[in-house]
């Protein structure tokens, strides 16, 4: 058996902390401007108990000296092609430093009965890459969230679970390929539901109607996103 030189071993052990640190987000800066881009879930997120409002309050409390600005840019019914069309007006024109993209539910859901109303996976992927590219060209960093749920039954029992998992995988792939930070809301929801939905209900644990968030859902989204942008 050959033994590595002590210097080589020391280098390997020293490299590990740096590899881990590379996954952490950069510290939030003074004058940070964060835009939350999405659909009706994000539109409702600016309400009194919505996830955008919860994150805004937590960031202001934790970083009183930074003057962080939080902007909601969610529109009901939106899919990736809609975000592409309004990106300049609702995001780039605001000169953000960080954009959190939470999209994908309608891209799957709207195509349930008529595929033409949804977004094909190739267009979903290409659209996300175009959006992220333009945001980064504008100087902002990006956090890309996976879509959450369309139904809360456990163990893949909801009708659109398999397709939703495919689109979540696309988001994971896009985040990696574009060097964006991933916020895996899909995993957070599936894990939470597995532990907290003993009655196997299709709604009422994290959503009001199988999709839109109740207070617990807003808190889980807020906690998960905040852990991604402010470690």
Residues 162, 178, 69: CA angle, nearest 5 degrees = 95
Its pTM surpasses 0.85: yes
Going from the C-alpha of 193 to that of each of 128, 178, 200, the distances in angstroms are 27, 30, 9
Q: What is the pLDDT of residues 162-202, one digit of tens each?
A: 999 999 999 999 999 999 999 999 999 999 999 999 999 99
Span 90-101, mean pLDDT? 98
Residue 16 has pLDDT above 90, yes or no: no
Work out the burial of residue 19: count CB atoms within 10 Å of its CB; fewer than 13 is exposed, 13-18 middle, 19 or more buried: exposed
Dihedral sign, Cα of residue 150, residue 153, residue 158, residue 163: positive
Residue in the structure block whose two tokens are 């000296």: 65
Which pLDDT score is estimated for 23?
63
- The pLDDT assigned to 22 comes to 41
Q: What is the mean pLDDT of the chain?
A: 91
Chain centroid, CA 56 distance in Å:
16
24 pLDDT band, cuts 50/70/90, is confident
- Least Cα distance to 189 among 156, 161, 157, 217 occurs for 217
Neighbours of 161 (CB within 10 A): 18
Map out the domains of the chain with their CATH numbers.
28-229 (3.40.50.1110)
């Amino acid at each position: 058996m050959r033994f590595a030189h002590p210097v080589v071993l020391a280098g390997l052990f020293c490299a590990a902390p740096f590899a881990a640190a590379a996954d952490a987000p950069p510290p939030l800066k003074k004058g940070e401007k964060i835009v939350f881009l999405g659909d009706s879930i994000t539109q409702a997120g600016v309400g009194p108990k919505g996830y955008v409002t919860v994150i805004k309050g937590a960031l202001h409390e934790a970083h009183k000296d930074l003057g962080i600005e939080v902007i909601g840019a969610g529109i009901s019914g939106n899919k990736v092609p809609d975000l592409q069309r309004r990106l300049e007006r609702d995001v780039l024109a605001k000169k953000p430093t960080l954009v959190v993209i939470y999209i994908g539910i309608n891209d799957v859901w709207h195509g349930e009965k008529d595929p033409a109303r949804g977004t094909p996976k190739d267009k979903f992927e290409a659209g996300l890459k175009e959006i992220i590219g333009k945001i980064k060209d504008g100087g902002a960093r990006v956090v890309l969230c996976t879509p959450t749920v369309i139904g809360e039954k456990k163990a893949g029992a909801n009708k659109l679970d398999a397709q939703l998992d495919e689109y979540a995988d696309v988001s994971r792939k896009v985040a990696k390929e574009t060097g964006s930070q991933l916020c895996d809301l899909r995993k957070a929801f599936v894990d939470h539901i597995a532990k907290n939905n003993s009655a196997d209900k299709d709604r009422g644990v994290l959503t009001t109607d199988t999709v839109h968030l109740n207070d617990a859902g807003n808190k889980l989204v807020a906690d998960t996103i905040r852990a991604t942008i402010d470690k």
